Amino acid sequence: MKTSTQSIILVLVLLAFVSCQHQKQVKTSPSLKNTFINDFLIGTALSANQIEEKDSVADALIREQFNVLTAENIMKSMFLQPAWGKFDFTLADKLVEYSKKNNMAVVGHTLIWHSQLPRYVYRITDKDSLKDFFTNHITTVASRYDGKILGWDVVNEALNEDGTMRGSIFYKLLGEDYVTEAFRLAQQAAPNTELYYNDYNIEQPKKRAGAISLIKKIQEAGVRIDGVGIQGHWHARRIPLQEIEESIVEYASLGLKVMITELDVELLPRNFTGADISERMKMKDDLTLNPYVSGLPDSVQQQLANDYEALFKLFLKHKDNITRITFWGVNDGQSWLNGWPAPGRTNYPLLFDREFKPKPAFYKVIGAKETLN
């Protein structure tokens, strides 16, 4: 009798275990990419670690939630052309293969940017040498991936906050027309790839006016530009919804696809907006600049959720003109905002927490769609 009771208990325990394992495999959260399937692509930026599929938890989440990928760093020129004329496509090719295998699109980021250039470029002082680098880099890289990726951020961050041209090495040595020339070269090398201008704060009126005039110059030169990327590095409680809406409408009226390309919402103290990597803040000993080391208070968590909800309601209102929303990273632990503008902070700017669990902001984003149905 005792033996048969023990056997029954054993069977019940086994059944409970099997059922529990099964439940673990059942998806518990909705998916962003499926929720917005008829509205816009939903993307994320991947670090080298994730491209190499070293992190299986991240990998599962990426496959479940996103349908377009941007390389956070490895398609920048310092990685693709580390020595003059010597290209290294190992990781970039891996990203393209990974996306193909998982039925995802890829956006190349970025062909021409003043930052993260190979060191030898910063030493160039004459126009001809820079022109050689510029032409060879764009032509080699853009043609390699033509037909394999969806689009390129051809030029990144060419503008100052007041809408004038940033005094980058390209502007100084090649002149103002370098932006149009970059698009002309990309168009020749990649006829089957979409071509974008990408920048932060270009929803702000002065910088927006600068971006519009830059775009019009490209168009008037008869050169193709398909879209504009508003990066979307915004701040909690201070999301510029009105400026974002005006910008979507104005950029779309130029015949462009509009994309939000590097979305995250800053929760830590910072006395400037945007994403200029040269800006830094000095860390103090106290927690003034790093207040949430041991967790996010509920009220702040809720604020983040409300900000994301407001953003997605706005994006849905303009879904006919928006083709893609890309988050700048997969989870909070991996975000660049833990290291910039002050190192070693604990930030919470994304929809998934450090354990890859969906945050309240995730459910508000999904809810923004559901309330419309």
Residues taking part in catalysis: 157, 262
Residue from the set 98, 134, 308, 336 that interacts with ligand G3I by CB under 6 A: 336
Residues of this chain, 55-74, that bind ligand G3I according to CB under 6 A = 72-73
Q: Indicate the DSSP class of residue 202.
A: T
**Which residue type does 292 have?**
Y
Closer of 19 and 49 to ligand G3I (Cβ)? 49
Strand-pair partners of 228:
197, 258
**Nearest distance from C-beta of residue 277 to ligand G3I, angstroms:** 4
Residue from the set 9, 14, 277, 287 that interacts with ligand G3I by CB under 6 A: 277
Residue from the set 193, 231, 346, 347 that interacts with ligand G3I by CB under 6 A: 231
In terms of DSSP bridges, do strands 41-46 and 68-71 run parallel, antiparallel, or are they unpaired?
A: parallel
| Contact between 154 and 195 (Cβ < 8 Å) | yes
Q: Give which of 113, 110, 208 is closest to 151, Cα–Cα.
A: 110
**3 φ, ψ to 5°?**
-65, -40
**Nearest distance from C-beta of residue 125 to ligand G3I, angstroms:** 23
- For every residue of 210-249, DSSP letters joined together read HHHHHHHHHHHTT----EEEE--EEETT---HHHHHHHHH
Closer of 153 and 309 to ligand G3I (Cβ)? 153
Computed on alpha carbons and rounded to an integer, the radius of gyration of the chain in Å comes to: 23
Residues of this chain, 106-145, that bind ligand G3I according to CB under 6 A = 115-116
**Nearest distance from C-beta of residue 269 to ligand G3I, angstroms:** 18
Closer of 47 and 301 to ligand G3I (Cβ)? 47
Q: Which two tokens stand for residue 17?
A: 């275990």
Here's the x/- map for ligand G3I, 161-200, by CB under 6 A: it reads as ----------------------------------------
Give the distance, in angstroms, between the CA of residue 301 and the centroid of all CA atoms in the same chain: 22
Strand-pair partners of 235:
266
**Nearest distance from C-beta of residue 43 to ligand G3I, angstroms:** 14
Q: What is the largest CA-CA distance in the chain?
A: 93
**Nearest distance from C-beta of residue 72 to ligand G3I, angstroms:** 5
Closer of 19 and 116 to ligand G3I (Cβ)? 116
Determine how many CB atoms are found less than 10 A away from the CB of residue 137.
22
Cα-based distances in Å from 186 to 45, 206, 234, 280, 324: 22, 27, 30, 33, 21
288 binds ligand G3I (CB under 6 A): no
Number of residues that bind ligand G3I (CB under 6 A): 10
331 binds ligand G3I (CB under 6 A): no
**Which residue type does 365 have?**
V
Closer of 191 and 343 to ligand G3I (Cβ)? 343
| Contact between 203 and 240 (Cβ < 8 Å) | yes
Closer of 262 and 266 to ligand G3I (Cβ)? 262
**Nearest distance from C-beta of residue 262 to ligand G3I, angstroms:** 5
Closer of 168 and 231 to ligand G3I (Cβ)? 231
Q: Indicate the DSSP class of residue 68.
A: E
Give the nearest residue (CB) to ligand G3I. 336
- What's the CA gap between 117 and 194, in Å, rounded? 23
Matching residue, tokens 């997969």:
330
- What's the CA gap between 105 and 20, in Å, rounded? 34
Residue from the set 46, 174, 275, 330 that interacts with ligand G3I by CB under 6 A: 275
**Nearest distance from C-beta of residue 244 to ligand G3I, angstroms:** 17
Binding residues for ligand G3I, per CB under 6 A? Answer: 72-73, 115-116, 156, 231, 262, 275, 277, 336
